[in-house]
Structures are given as C-alpha cells and as structure tokens.
C-alpha cells in the first residue's frame, strides 16, 4: 500500500509592507510522502511572498502539467505559475507559454549556483520568468518550525522575510537571480 500524504492545517498571517498586503489565510496543505518539511516550508514561503485571495495550491505534485501553486483569473487563465526546485528549461518554457507570469523558487544550497550557471542563458529568453534562490540555512531553519497545526507569521519588508511562530523565528533573504 502506498504511503498517503500528511495533512497540515496552517493559519498564515501575512504582513507584506513591500506590497501593502495584510491578510490572514487558513490553508489545508497536503505534504506528499516524498516531500521534506523544509520543501513544504519553501512552498509556504512562496505563498506568503505572492499572497492574494486567488492564490491557491494545486494538485501539482500529483499532476504533471499543473504548477504546485497558481493564481487563475475568473476566466480560468493561469496568471501566476509557481514552481520549486531546480527545474529544467523545457518545463519552464511550457510554464512561460501557459501563464502570464512564472516564478521559480530554487533551493538546494551549493548546487543552485551550478544549476544557475548551466541554465541562466536559456532562461533569459523568458521575459515572464522570475527566479529566486532561497538560502540553504533558511530552508533548514524553516523546516524546524513545522507542526501538524501551525500558526505562522510572515513579515515582509525591504526584501527580508521574518517567518515566526510561538517557538522561534527565521530570517529569510531570498536572492533574486532573474527578474
């Protein structure tokens, strides 16, 4: 029997001074059996950085031609496609063609600069692609904040993000590789 996803209840409080966005979100998040706590927290970070009333998690880990996080218009068009990890150029070309804006949240420590060097030139073609590098230390520290029922505060100001809960806080300074 295949292992099932673990379900997390998340109360997300976003205070984004850079965008003037202040809102609470109540999310039910499924963690795929192969997904680490740290990767799940990168997904929540991406949600907080792009939070809106229409942003939602899709079936992305289980469905090949959907992003893991997206924002769709009322007519069903994909306005924002968000991916995670170190995607290949073919996948991002597809995303760029199907969406108004694409964001990739890369993480993985020392392997990110090597991956970026190999792909940067190809990615420059895509004018609607934004690539972030999330520092390895911050990814690990965010993973330590995980519990089955979470209340997380995301305070975003001048490109810095403080992620906190009752037991601690983590400073995340995402590096914008491509805008």
Q: pLDDT value at position 96?
A: 94
Q: pLDDT value at position 34?
A: 87
Q: pLDDT value at position 53?
A: 94
Q: pLDDT value at position 88?
A: 86
Query: What is the enclosing helix (H) or strand (E) of 78?
Result: strand 78-84
Instruction: Return the DSSP state at 116.
Output: H
Q: pLDDT value at position 5?
A: 84
Measured CA to CA, the distance from residue 46 to residue 135 in angstroms comes to 13
List the beta bridge partners of residue 133: 106, 175
Q: pLDDT value at position 51?
A: 97
For 135, the token pair is: 């520092």
pTM to 2 decimals? Answer: 0.94
Per-residue pLDDT of the chain (179 residues; tens, 9 = 90+): 557 889 999 999 999 999 999 999 999 998 888 899 999 999 999 999 999 999 999 875 555 678 899 999 999 999 999 999 999 888 899 999 999 999 999 999 999 999 999 999 999 999 999 999 999 999 999 999 999 999 999 999 999 999 999 999 999 999 999 99
């Amino acid at each position: 029997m295949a292992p099932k996803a673990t379900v997390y209840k998340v109360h997300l409080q976003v205070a984004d001074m850079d965008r003037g966005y202040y809102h609470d979100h109540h999310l039910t998040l499924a963690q795929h059996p192969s997904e680490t706590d740290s990767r799940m927290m990168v997904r929540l970070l991406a949600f907080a950085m792009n939070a809106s009333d229409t942003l939602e998690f899709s079936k992305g880990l289980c469905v090949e031609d959907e992003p893991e996080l997206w924002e769709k218009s009322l007519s069903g068009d994909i306005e924002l496609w968000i991916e995670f990890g170190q995607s290949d150029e073919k996948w991002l070309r597809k995303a760029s063609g199907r969406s108004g804006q694409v964001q990739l949240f890369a993480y993985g420590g020392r392997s990110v600069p090597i991956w970026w060097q190999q792909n940067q030139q190809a990615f420059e073609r895509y004018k609607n692609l934004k690539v972030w590098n999330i520092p390895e230390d911050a990814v690990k520290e965010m993973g330590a904040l995980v519990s089955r029922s979470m209340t997380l505060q995301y305070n975003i100001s001048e490109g810095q993000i403080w992620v906190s809960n009752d037991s601690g806080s983590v400073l995340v300074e995402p590096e914008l590789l491509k805008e």
